[in-house]
Amino acid sequence: MVSMPSLSTSSLQHKWQVVTRTARIGRDLISSRYEESRLPARFRPSSDDDFIAAAYFSSDVHSMYQLEQWLWPFEQLRDALIRQGEGDAPFGILTRDARVAQRIAALTDIPVRFSRLTAGLDSFFDAPRLRVVFYVNQATTNFQALRFPTPAHVHLSHGESEKVSMISNQLKAYDYVFTAGQAARDRITSTLHGIDAEALIDVGRPQLDRAFSVPEEWQRFAAEAPAGPTVFYAPTWEGDSPSMSYGTMATTGVPVVSELLDAGYRVILRTHPRTGLLRSDFARAVESVRGRVDAHSRGFVDTSSDVSWQLAVADVAVAEMSSVAFDWLATEKPLVIIPPTDPRAEVLRNGLIDRAVNWETASGVALVDRLADAADRDSGSLSAHYLGDTNPGSQIERFITAARQVMAARQGVLGDG
């Protein structure tokens, strides 16, 4: 009798990822093509478009959160351009997925255009006054737009963090990179040899200047739940490669919420929207952790549209290597970081994990004790290092000023300014 070799856990996970990803791609393709056939004509690029600034987004609905968080800053820039006489609709958004086009159009009054084919890109990028295009991720299809030489191409990213993707050599393809602060510039210039430091412009995190309202669901919860300090728990997802496997929810999620709830903390749980997309153990963990939090009198599962109000109502944050941790720095309130447990994850030396209080299950130290340690740290210096000036209005002002500078520089190069 011939014995069959056993599959390792990692091998099974890889096979599950391949099957899951293939099935998802197939479903997405069918769904996207169906929505494309029903898309109204107003979504097509038109010769009447007179955009001077634009955003390009080629990813699918699973990554749409990356664009959503920039809608408010784009609207503020649009309004500033209108005030300076640049027309009634000086900003547009070009998408490559029909479902994204429809959903984004429901969230903003910025004109949204769609084109799956390159002919639509030609029409959109040939707008005679287009001077700057913004990118919120590193999608490979960004390069289909980068081939157009007239506008300045600006990479924004969809967050500030120390994930290895934040120092991709792809950044050299853009004319400018809008960075959050000193830490980002140091990270990029020390890693990407030959990059032009003059192309890096600090703008902070302009999303943080948006006025927000606390959801009614939280207000009702806060009024009825037992008293106690509030923890904002925001774990990240599993990542799409070994070097990006910063999430630990599959192993630490249940211990984290159990300890916090048992210790008398109120817990706001906000999981990354892509958690469980590629790994079954993370998908199971999300379901289990959400169930525990939702069933507890001090637990609140956050399904609101963005990260904003949580920064105001929570007393401390427990996060992983994601933009939520870095946005939290603006509050100057205590932060505890959970380092990645996968040894293949690339962690930058002297980064936030080293600078902030961190907690690992293997340490034997209680998480609540680390929360107490975090309260004694100087969060103000961390905030300044990563985000710069976070006084109300300062970050959105820097973003608009930087965008204007880029547009003026491009107009000067083209000889029409």
pLDDT digits (tens, 9 = 90+) for 225-253: 999 999 999 999 999 899 999 999 999 99
d(CA 312, CA 333): 10
The three-point CA angle 304-296-319 to 5° equals 55
E strand or H helix that includes residue 370: helix 367-374
* pLDDT bucket at 55, cuts 50 / 70 / 90: very high
Distance of CA 130 to the CA centre of its chain: 26
Contact present, 338 and 252 (Cβ < 8 Å): yes
* 348-376 residue pLDDT tens: 888 999 999 999 988 889 999 999 999 98
What global pTM score does this model have? 0.87
Query: Would you state the structure tokens that stand for residue 231, as one six-digit string?
Result: 């923890």
* pLDDT bucket at 14, cuts 50 / 70 / 90: low
Spell out the alpha helix ranges (H) of 157-316: 182-191, 216-224, 249-262, 280-295, 309-313
Contact present, 346 and 245 (Cβ < 8 Å): no
Contact present, 52 and 86 (Cβ < 8 Å): yes
Q: Is 388 left (phi over 0), alpha (psi -120 to 50) or beta?
A: left
d(CA 59, CA 97): 7
d(CA 367, CA 256): 7
Give the percent of the chain with pLDDT over 70. Answer: 91
3-state SS, residue 53 = strand
* pLDDT bucket at 18, cuts 50 / 70 / 90: low
* pLDDT bucket at 38, cuts 50 / 70 / 90: confident
Q: If you average pLDDT over every residue of the chain, what do you get?
A: 92
**For position 184, what pLDDT does the model report?**
96
Q: Which residue has the higher pLDDT, 278 or 10?
A: 278
